[in-house]
Structure 1
Amino acid sequence: MTHSSPNIRPLIRQLDESTANRIAAGEVVERPASAVKELVENALDAGATRIDIAIAGGGKRLIRVSDDGCGMAPDDLPLALARHATSKIDGSDLLDIRSFGFRGEALPSLGAVARLSITSRAAGADAARITVEGGRIGPVRPAAGNRGTVVELRDLFFATPARLRFLRGDRAETQAIAEVVRRLSMAEPSVAFTLTDEDAARILFRADTEQGDLFDALSARIGRVMGREFIENAIPIDAERDGLRLTGLAALPTYSRGAAVAQHLYVNGRPVRDKLLTGALRAGYFDVLPAGRHPAAVLFVDCDPQGVDVNVHPAKAEVRFREPDAARGLVVASLRHALAGAGHRASTTGGAATLAAFRPEPRPSPAATLAAYQAQAPLTPLPDAAAGFAEAPTPWPQSAPVFPAAARVEPAAPPTEAPLGAARAQLHENWIIAQTADGIVIVDQHAAHERLVYERLKTQAAAARIPSQALLIPEIVELGDGAERLLSMAAELDRLGLVIEAFGPGCVVVREIPAALGRLDAAALLRDIADDLADAGASDRLQGRLDAVLSSMACHGSVRSGRSLNADEMNALLREMERTPRSGQCNHGRPTWVELKLADIERLFGRKD
């Protein structure tokens, strides 16, 4: 970076409109997917019921968005290309935003860096077309077209070629565009979407208008985008508090992902990537997911537009809540309540993976079968059947058990209509086999009982203050600005056994620590909690440390692998699993049981097609 000499006063210049538009384009349009997002949002604001998107070259050569919305009159077209011209707001209240767009920057920014044409027709008016190339606007001309608007964008960033070097390959850009269209389509189930790649002449994504009431239509659209497996393993969310409403679907913990790619968050129908909501989603799955796994969810937060500021980022991807604690609390509490209400449910993917492990051998050809028989034939000829055996065959030892690896259960078991069925056997002193009305359930007895004991310990700990131990020498920790944030939640920390007090500007003193944690680096813990508060407005770090101790206690106090259980003990374990929240996964997030349907088992043995 160069700096002018201190003896030379730099001149302040007014940038020309073309340069200002190119700078604005860098903020609004980062890549082809950003352009698609802006154009599709304009179509939704126009009341479109069908939106067709066509791309070529990953959106770098062509983006065409056609809609059947209200359209524009010929006189509106030049104004649509002017900066900060919009029909969405009148400028009187920037907190009362009820549309996707409101800045009036997208079209002029796109026209500044690409070749843009707009063909539009409003009801009762003639169709017209206007073009702009690198910021140079052409005249309005008559055109042919149906009601609605067609925006065609060619040669994106041709006017700023340096930006092209920062774009990824066609395939990556196409995938980013498809993700944008999918995210927007989930918020608008009453609108039909198609995305076509003209290079490959194929439809990349299609979603027809969904029927039914709002929630049914929303679930159907989410299923179309996220897949049937997500719907089968998701829990409906519907909660309301403090003027905020949360709806959507959240997947079971055992249906987790290796990355946060299946998390879709919306505020008043607008797709957002908000740290507050992302942190709340993570906190909602706290204690049920293993390290490195991420929840899958599609959640919609709706509130009065006055309660959220969407004018935070040029791309409108971030929001700021007037009451952030209320928004976070609603998400966390709703998710935890829903996951607890799911009880013993585990994802269906466990059963599918189990079935996949049972790979039947391919049926050999007749020639291979004959060769196998010949290879297994004895070297000496068998005695003649009429002559009989020279010696009587050795009888099977009567003392040998028929099923040496299984502890058999007598038929006096509970009925199989229970959700987890009736215990029928214990294999290898760890796996309980239960019969259900339409299949079998395999239970990991140690993992299941570990979760049951853990939940019992957590309930007991929540009913009373966590025991603490006083430090012989109180520890003083310097936190700077974080000290005040930490002291604001001193009462909550005290309930968890951590007693802190103010100790001068930017400092706190630690008087007591949770007894269960033993030796503790209090300074490091407080700094981590302060960082969490600064980043997400809340922290579960201390609770996590305590839960880890309870989890360890539960592991040592639960039924161990290798212990034989009788029928009553196994059935008692199954019944308690059905009553206990989150018993479908162990303390480490793994499933505690899998189910195999009878129809799938019969198919394995070729008894069903």
Structure 2
Amino acid sequence: MPSIHLLSDLLINQIAAGEVVERPASVLKEVLENAVDAGSRAIDVQLEQGGVRRIRVADDGCGIARDELALALERHATSKIANLDDLERVGTMGFRGEALAAIAAVARTTLTSRAEGSAHAWRIDGTERSVAPAALGAGTVVDVADLYYNTPARRKFLKSEGTEYAHCDEMFRRVALARPDIGLQFAHNGRVVHRLPVTDQARRVAALMGDDFLAQARALDADAGPLRLSGFASLPAYSRASRDAQYFFVNGRFVRDKLLTHAVRQAYADILHGARHPAYVLFLELDPAGVDVNVHPAKIEVRFRESRAIHQFVFHALSRTLAESGANLAARDEPAVAATAGEPAGADAPAQGERPRPFGGYGNAPPVQGRLAMESASRSYFDFVGTARAPDAATMSAPTPTATAPAQEFRPTVFAPTAGRPATTVAPALPQHADDSAPLGYALGQLHGIYILAQNAKGLVLVDMHAAHERILYEKLKTVLDGTPSVQRLLIPAVFSVSAKDMAAAEECAEVLAGMGFEVAPAGPQELAVRSVPALLASAPVAELMRKLLEELREYPASEVVTARRNELLATMACHGAVRAHRSLTLPEMNALLRDMEATERADQCNHGRPTWTQLTMGELDRFFMRGQ
């Protein structure tokens, strides 16, 4: 049997490099974090051949004294922690002191540094460990060349230059997003890719994520005791097919944490399609003693001491921000997020020579505040579309005029339908100032029984009436079912045939259905009778809705699972209970729908993440028709 012996320091460092130095991006991460910890105000990064040939990082930080240069290349040598108490309250990016030693063991490494107050700089060779005078104004330069030159087996696992460069670029972005107070430059093969001056968080995010992201994102800033969550979270319209635009930082450190990812996903659950992923740049700040950053060699995973509290805080803070409709934000007269990134607030004109968009994105929709004071809105439009028993237009009252507007009576004109087209109802234009109290405006008519056309202060609003009604109905169902649901008994029970599986599911989940407001009982060997439904769904197609619910309940029969999936079941109920396309609405009904949209959280998207409305401004219309040109 071979004898037990100690490994050499070089072999130990090469083994450690397998964990710390996975690829050039790993080297860049460790060196950049050291530069940040040194208090740098400017950092310059230069790569050659994707970082495999060379990685050079120069900073203007505090530097390293001559006597400590050799020590900096030793294993577990650090100036950042001294005892266990320091380890439990780590406030720096790096702290274990193993990175430089591991890098020097697998690459030709040179360290040049000039400490504050030193007459000149000193350079140390990572292989020979010889120290010599050098020329450097201030700070430190780490030069890493020929990665894995002495371990060719590992070098074979490196990918192409383009792939390795992409990983390095991503690593640079993470550090740059976390520290907008540091100026950074990034060059590859002599070409400058990023030049980022010191700026604020919004401008830094815009520079790295793009103006499109910032224009479609909500700014977030919430705190609760020692916890603070800030940053930007995209609207569902900016969702992605992958998770490539998700950045979460804990005390300035980029992390991939399952707890935080789950909290974010839950916050988007009601407004984002399941196959899409949100984009966000979020920063969580808390007491360093409340998070353990020493659970992963690359320090990319963390562990929270109060994990449940963190999850709930992130979930609720993000949910509240996303719940506000785009209209509600603008009503507070806050500048658009894009304006924070250096664009003029409220500017909706495209750049010189740019082709105007035919439609404004719903993410740029005007902000909405409160409900318009009009009698038809005081009666929920569910009175109209929710019961399928719309009263005559003559019985509907016109909108109550606002204090600043003269009385305005709706006098709709009904055009006779032409071949293959339904009748269209339009209303005369309202005074411009009357629209100020109704952010989504007043209805003008319907388009093919699918879209509502409305006029507001900015121009034309288009609303997908089914998607909008679906969101409002869903939010009302959630609120109602938190208490005792209001039940509508059916004068004639709805009887329909079902399969044996549906019969079994109805019997097993009778209590769950009753809790939602459904009274279901067998009416025959393969027939069910529904005697009551939730009042909000009184006009829904009962048989179709019940079959869909039973289909989902068959997959999750246990009451605990059903409770956990309550919102998904409610979304199904809302979808089948919402007003259908090609349903003709009167002007008061359309206006009541608009008013309820303004008062509903998350009204910008339906339950499946589709937009519910969009804005076409007067400026866009003028440019489209080349008025004044």
Could you say whether these structures have the same fold, taking a TM-score greater than 0.5 normalized by the shorter chain as the test?
yes
Alpha-carbon distance in structure 1 between the residues aligned to 2:304 and 2:125: 39
How much does 1:408 deviate?
Answer: 3.1
How much does 1:107 deviate?
Answer: 0.6
How much does 1:55 deviate?
Answer: 0.3
Cα 1:84–1:183, aligned 2, differ >3 Å: closer, same or farther?
A: same
CA offsets 1:463-495 (integer angstroms, 9 cap, x no match): 25999x9999999xxxxxxxxxxxxxxxxxxx9
2:83 aligned partner: 91
Match of 1:549 among 536, 560, 569: 569
Cα 1:355–1:459, aligned 2, differ >3 Å: closer, same or farther?
A: farther
CA offsets 1:69-91 (integer angstroms, 9 cap, x no match): 01112111101001100111113
1:363 aligned partner: none
CA offsets 1:323-377 (integer angstroms, 9 cap, x no match): 100110101111111112236579999x99x97568xxxxxxxxxxxxxxxxxxx
Matches within 5 A, 1:179-578: 179-198=170-189, 201-210=190-199, 217-241=200-224, 243-342=226-325, 407-411=424-428, 415-417=434-436, 418-464=438-484, 518=550, 542=562, 545-578=565-598
> How many equivalent residue pairs?
504
Alpha-carbon distance in structure 1 between the residues aligned to 2:550 and 2:416: 54
Alpha-carbon distance in structure 1 between the residues aligned to 2:445 and 2:325: 26
Alpha-carbon distance in structure 1 between the residues aligned to 2:298 and 2:165: 19
Alpha-carbon distance in structure 1 between the residues aligned to 2:328 and 2:277: 18
Contact 1:420–1:441 (Cα < 8 Å) also in 2: yes
Cα 1:575–1:472, aligned 2, differ >3 Å: closer, same or farther?
A: closer
Letter matched to residue 187 of structure 1: A
Contact 1:344–1:577 (Cα < 8 Å) also in 2: no
Q: Provide TM-score, normalisation by structure 2.
A: 0.73
Is 1:123 matched up with 2:106?
no
How much does 1:524 deviate?
Answer: 6.7
1:114 aligned partner: 107
How much does 1:404 deviate?
Answer: 5.8
Cα 1:574–1:103, aligned 2, differ >3 Å: closer, same or farther?
A: same
Contact 1:258–1:294 (Cα < 8 Å) also in 2: yes
1:102 aligned partner: 95
Cα 1:406–1:130, aligned 2, differ >3 Å: closer, same or farther?
A: farther
1:504 aligned partner: none
Alpha-carbon distance in structure 2 between the residues aligned to 1:465 and 1:300: 39
Letter matched to residue 141 of structure 1: A
- Rg bigger for which structure? 1
Contact 2:468–2:603 (Cα < 8 Å) also in 1: yes
Letter matched to residue 39 of structure 2: G
Cα 1:608–1:300, aligned 2, differ >3 Å: closer, same or farther?
A: farther
Letter matched to residue 121 of structure 2: A
Contact 1:466–1:496 (Cα < 8 Å) also in 2: no
CA offsets 1:412-447 (integer angstroms, 9 cap, x no match): 758332221222221101111112222211111111
2:13 aligned partner: 21
CA offsets 1:61-119 (integer angstroms, 9 cap, x no match): 01000000011121111010011001111134211101001010111111000000111
Cα 1:519–1:598, aligned 2, differ >3 Å: closer, same or farther?
A: closer
Contact 2:115–2:138 (Cα < 8 Å) also in 1: yes
2:600 aligned partner: 580
How much does 1:255 deviate?
Answer: 2.2
Cα 1:421–1:97, aligned 2, differ >3 Å: closer, same or farther?
A: same
Letter matched to residue 208 of structure 1: P
Q: Secondary structure at the match of 1:434?
A: strand
Alpha-carbon distance in structure 1 between the residues aligned to 2:239 and 2:206: 16
Letter matched to residue 93 of structure 2: F
2:66 aligned partner: 74
Match of 1:143 among 134, 147, 152: 134
Alpha-carbon distance in structure 2 between the residues aligned to 1:311 and 1:584: 41
How much does 1:41 deviate?
Answer: 0.5
How much does 1:237 deviate?
Answer: 1.9
Contact 1:413–1:424 (Cα < 8 Å) also in 2: no
CA offsets 1:359-401 (integer angstroms, 9 cap, x no match): xxxxxxxxxxxxxxxxxxxxxxxxxxxxxxxxxxxxxxx9786
Letter matched to residue 304 of structure 2: F
Unaligned runs of 5+ in 1: 1-8, 211-216, 359-397, 476-494, 498-514, 530-540
Cα 1:406–1:223, aligned 2, differ >3 Å: closer, same or farther?
A: farther
Cα 1:564–1:11, aligned 2, differ >3 Å: closer, same or farther?
A: same
2:389 aligned partner: none
CA offsets 1:211-244 (integer angstroms, 9 cap, x no match): xxxxxx2222222221222222222222223532
Is 1:158 matched up with 2:152?
no
More displaced, 75-84 or 423-432?
A: 423-432
How much does 1:452 deviate?
Answer: 0.9
Letter matched to residue 181 of structure 1: F
How much does 1:599 deviate?
Answer: 1.9
CA offsets 1:181-200 (integer angstroms, 9 cap, x no match): 111111111100110012xx
More displaced, 323-332 or 430-439?
A: 430-439
Identity across matched positions, percent: 47
Alpha-carbon distance in structure 1 between the residues aligned to 2:259 and 2:15: 29
Q: Secondary structure at the match of 2:282?
A: strand
Contact 1:406–1:427 (Cα < 8 Å) also in 2: no
Q: Provide TM-score, normalisation by structure 1.
A: 0.76
CA offsets 1:574-604 (integer angstroms, 9 cap, x no match): 1111110011111111001111222223222
CA RMSD of aligned residues (A): 3.6
Alpha-carbon distance in structure 2 between the residues aligned to 1:571 and 1:118: 70
Alpha-carbon distance in structure 1 between the residues aligned to 2:88 and 2:32: 23
Q: Secondary structure at the match of 1:581?
A: coil
Unaligned runs of 5+ in 2: 330-335, 339-348, 360-414, 488-502, 510-514, 518-545
Contact 2:549–2:572 (Cα < 8 Å) also in 1: no
Alpha-carbon distance in structure 2 between the residues aligned to 1:474 and 1:449: 31
Alpha-carbon distance in structure 1 between the residues aligned to 2:115 and 2:485: 67
Contact 1:343–1:578 (Cα < 8 Å) also in 2: no
Letter matched to residue 563 of structure 1: R
Alpha-carbon distance in structure 1 between the residues aligned to 2:64 and 2:4: 39
Contact 2:459–2:616 (Cα < 8 Å) also in 1: yes
How much does 1:542 deviate?
Answer: 4.3
1:598 aligned partner: 618
Alpha-carbon distance in structure 1 between the residues aligned to 2:83 and 2:302: 19
Is 1:169 matched up with 2:150?
no
